[in-house]
Structures are given as C-alpha cells and as structure tokens.
C-alpha cells in the first residue's frame, strides 16, 4: 500500500471574514467564520451551500415584501396622524 500525501487547499477565502478549506487530512470540508469552525462531510457541505443560497434568495424576496409593507404602513400613519 502506497501512502499518499495529499495536501489541503483553501477553496474560498474572504479577508477578515473566513474561509472554506480542505485540511488535507480528514476528508471533510472546514467552514471557518471568525472564531467558529464547522467541519462537514462533502455531501453535508453541499447541502449547506444549497441551504445558504436558497436562504439568500428568500431573504431578498422577504426584504422586498417587508419594504412594501413598511411603505403601506407609513402611508397609513401619515393619513391617521394628521
Ligand atoms: Zn480536515
């Protein structure tokens, strides 16, 4: 059996925020944000990516809806307070 050494790799990195990397030893992916470090199997990592990107899309929609409701509420307040 040949002992293979595979080195890790930084897959993504944002200065001052965090990084996603493969340490090269455990076969998992590591998501590091500030002092927090998540270790995930590749499949779980892909689920996390999917979950995060879905939440980002939903967040934008939700913020837009909130803005619309806020505008309606502001209109009503102006009408009733004067
Ligand atoms: Zn590792």
Whether residue 82 is predicted with pLDDT greater than 70 in this model: the reply is no
User: pTM above 0.95?
Assistant: no
Domain ranges of the chain: 1-40, 42-82
Distance 27 CA to ligand 1 centre (A): 6
Distance 64 CA to ligand 1 centre (A): 39
Question: In 3-state terms, what secondary structure has residue 47?
Answer: helix
Distance 40 CA to ligand 1 centre (A): 9
**Tally of CB atoms within 10 A around 48:** 15
pLDDT of residue 3: 57
pLDDT of residue 70: 84
pLDDT of residue 14: 98
Distance 16 CA to ligand 1 centre (A): 21
Compute the distance between CA of residue 81 and CA of residue 69 in angstroms, rounded to an integer.
18
Whether residue 1 is predicted with pLDDT greater than 60 in this model: the reply is no
- Summarised one tens digit per residue, pLDDT across range 5-56 is 668 999 999 999 999 999 999 999 999 999 999 999 999 999 999 999 999 9
């Amino acid at each position: 059996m040949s002992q293979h050494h595979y080195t890790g790799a930084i897959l993504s990195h944002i200065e001052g925020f965090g990084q996603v990397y493969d340490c090269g030893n455990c076969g998992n992916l590591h998501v590091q944000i500030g002092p927090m470090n998540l270790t995930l199997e590749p499949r779980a990592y892909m689920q996390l990516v999917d979950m995060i990107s879905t939440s980002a899309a939903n967040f934008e929609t939700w913020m837009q809806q909130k803005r619309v409701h806020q505008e309606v509420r502001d209109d009503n307040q102006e009408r009733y307070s004067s």
